[in-house]
Amino acid sequence: MLGPIHTIQSALKIFGEKGGNIINISSGASKYPLPGASLYSSTKAALDAFTIALSKELGSRKVRINSILPGATDTEGARTAGVTEGSDHEKMFIANTPLGRRGQPEDIAKAAVFLASDDAAWITGEQISVSGGMYGF
C-alpha cells in the first residue's frame, strides 16, 4: 500500500485545477483470495477500498480514481510465481476463464487507456474487472 499512497500523494501535487486521473492496478484476488496468497489478496483489497474512499474525497478536485482488477495475466510476475506456459497453474486459470486463455498485458493496457480517456469522464471509484470472465462481479 505504501507505493500507491506515495505515488498518489505526489501526483496530487502536480494535478492542479484541471484535476487528473489515477488508475490503480489491483487484482481479482482482492475479491476472490487464493490459497497461499493472503498477503497479496489483502493488500489488493485494501487498495480497492482506498480507491473508493479517495474517489469520494477527491471528486470535488476533479480527480477520478479507479482500480483495474486483472485476472490471470501473462506477466513476468506471474511467471516468477510459477504460472508458466503449460503449468498446472496455467491450466487451472484457463479452465476457470470463460474466454479460455490467459490475459495479455495489452488486454489490461487497453482498459487503462479507456479509463484515462475523456470517454470515461463519468467513471470514478470503480473496480473494473479485466479477467476474461474469470471473476464474474
Number of residues in the chain: 137
The Cα 131–Cα 25 span in angstroms is: 13
SS3 call for 130:
strand
C-alpha cell at 55: 474517489
C-alpha cell at 64: 477520478
What's CA 63's distance to the chain center, in Å?
18
**Can you name the residues that pair with 20 across neighbouring β-strands?**
63
Catalytic positions are 40
**Can you name the residues that pair with 103 across neighbouring β-strands?**
73
Site of grid cell 510476475 = 77
